Amino acid sequence: MIQTLKNAWKVIELRKKLLFTLFMIILFRLGSAIPVPHIDAGALSAAFKSTELGNTILGLYNVMSGSAFQYGTVFALSIQPYINASIIIQLLAIAIPALERLSKEGGEEGKRKLENITRYTTVGIALLQAYGYYALLSNNNALADESFLTGLVIVATLVAGSCLVMWMGEQITEFGIGNGISMILFAGIIARVPNVVVTMFNNLISNPSNWRLWVMYPLMIVGGLAMIVLIVIVTNAERRIPVMYSKRVVGRKVYGGQSTHLPLKVNMSGVLPVIFAGSIASLPATIGMFFGKTSQSAGGWGTFLRLFSQTSPLYMVLYFLLIIFFSYFYSTIQFNPIEVSNNLMKNGGYIPGFRPGKPTSAFIAKVLNKVTLFGAIYLAIIALVPLIVGAVFPTAGNSGISVGGTSLIIVVGVALETVKALEAQLIMRNYKGFLE
């Protein structure tokens, strides 16, 4: 990776792209430090630390925004509205024929129309989330005053910040390196690392005689490195199905006859199953937050929220099952065995040992189910190990490790994706034509 960056830096065009990407990331971090008017950032941060807001879906938003959500800054909503809008439009493209035609048959014009629809949807979602954020501030006494003008300024600022982050991501995609949305997420997550390190260091300094901390933190670091290695291996892993193409005579030329393979990624759905599962599993805590209840509350509310707290076995089992479900759900959306089988048959391709048509699609579906199961279990392990560590060692949970699995998958995935993009650019610029 370091060697790839060195080689890319030597190419003037790639150097400009790298500098542009870095400049946009710096702007994103600057916007994440500018406070929104009329918000008491201290009161909001105290609410996050003293209550269980981190166990709700807001905790995930806070991680993705690089703690901007917790401190009430201009980019508090970060890129989340755009990600939600993209997922919604992607799912609607399967259910609504008009959107499906735009995505498959519209070409560049259809792609542009879908992008515009996604942008408008982003603004609508940002408005809803900004109002919800205002309600959160009001419930936690984090407002200077609760006048209509104050609410309007806060909502407008948050929506404008979210739209600006969306624009920055698109600019990185067009003029920088890699996917802009992924780079924004990467920057937000990496920005939290110094705070986690400082928290761990302070725990060691304030408890020098606590040998458990001196044993636990090195084990956490080693475990994190092992998880990174596992993520790299599984991210690059794929199941290759051999494909043969029969020879065809067109005029005086013979086409086909070569062999290739159909690659099936082990982790085809990326980190989306973990995000979806975490959002649904945290719904009880999120609902309790709106009613001002926590797991420490007396009565039925407290019992209910303790059952669904991140350290409870019920929550972990539910989280595991939801990850498995959404892995299969998203792989079904992304990959259609029947469509692949028909395309192979149209182009004269076949899988050795299987007749074209239904037998081929059945075999591909069988392999896909096995690969998806392995990828889903891998995602569940990566997501659950930090939760188990946080339950066994509460101090580790206070260090922010509870969302470490999701963050690691995103960070490593974006790093690999960016390196591949740089390598592709280097190959394109260094390739010499057959006439030279």
Q: Are residues 213 and 157 both part of a single domain?
A: no
Torsion of CA 206, 211, 212, 215, to 10 degrees: 110
Which CATH number fits the domain that encloses residue 273? 1.10.3370.10
Q: Are residues 1 and 47 both part of a single domain?
A: yes
Residue 299 falls inside a structural domain:
yes
Residue 340 falls inside a structural domain:
yes
Which of 165, 191, 217 marks a domain boundary? 191
Residue 419 falls inside a structural domain:
no
Q: Which pLDDT value is given to residue 429?
A: 67
Q: In b/e form, how buried is each residue of 330-359, taking b as 16+ CB within 10 angstroms?
A: bbbeebebeebbeebeeeebbbeebebeee
Q: Report how far residue 263's alpha carbon sits from residue 239's, in angstroms, rounded to the nearest whole number.
A: 6
Residue 271 falls inside a structural domain:
yes
Tell me the per-residue pLDDT of 157-198, one tens digit each, with 9 for 90 and over: 999 999 999 999 989 988 888 888 888 888 888 888 887 788
Q: Are residues 12 and 126 both part of a single domain?
A: yes
Q: Are residues 300 and 361 both part of a single domain?
A: yes
Q: Are residues 183 and 213 both part of a single domain?
A: no
pLDDT per position in the chain (436 positions), as tens?
A: 677 777 777 778 888 888 999 999 999 999 888 989 888 888 888 777 766 666 667 777 787 787 888 888 999 888 888 888 888 887 787 778 887 777 776 677 878 888 888 899 999 999 998 988 888 888 778 887 778 888 899 999 999 999 999 999 989 988 888 888 888 888 888 888 887 788 778 877 887 777 777 777 788 788 878 888 888 888 888 888 888 877 666 666 665 567 788 888 888 877 778 878 877 887 777 777 666 666 677 777 778 777 777 778 888 888 899 889 988 888 887 788 888 888 888 877 888 888 888 888 889 889 989 999 998 898 888 888 877 777 776 655 444 455 567 788 888 888 888 888 888 777 776 654 444 4
Residue 300: both structure tokens together: 């039925």
Q: Report how far residue 336's alpha carbon sits from residue 53's, in angstroms, rounded to the nearest whole number.
A: 39
- CA dist 311 to 86, 166, 248, 298, 389, Å? 31, 34, 61, 19, 9
Q: Are residues 222 and 172 both part of a single domain?
A: no
Parallel/antiparallel/unpaired status of strands 253-255 and 259-265 = unpaired
Q: Are residues 71 and 100 both part of a single domain?
A: yes
Q: Which pLDDT value is given to residue 435?
A: 43
The alpha-carbon radius of gyration of the chain (Å, integer) is 24
Which of 170, 191, 212 marks a domain boundary? 191
Q: Which pLDDT value is given to residue 253?
A: 66
Q: Are residues 245 and 353 both part of a single domain?
A: yes
Q: Which pLDDT value is given to residue 192?
A: 80
What's the whole-model pTM score?
0.78
SS3 at position 352? coil
Backbone angles phi, psi at 398, to 5 degrees: -70, -20
Q: Are residues 369 and 275 both part of a single domain?
A: yes
Number of structural domains the chain divides into: 2
Q: Are residues 39 and 156 both part of a single domain?
A: yes
Q: Are residues 151 and 222 both part of a single domain?
A: no
Residue 433 falls inside a structural domain:
no
Q: Which pLDDT value is given to residue 270?
A: 77
Which of 191, 216, 234 marks a domain boundary? 191
Residue 196 falls inside a structural domain:
no
Q: Which pLDDT value is given to residue 155?
A: 92
Residue 434 falls inside a structural domain:
no
Range of the domain at 383: 204-399
Residue 292 falls inside a structural domain:
yes
Q: Are residues 259 and 175 both part of a single domain?
A: no
Q: Which pLDDT value is given to residue 53?
A: 65
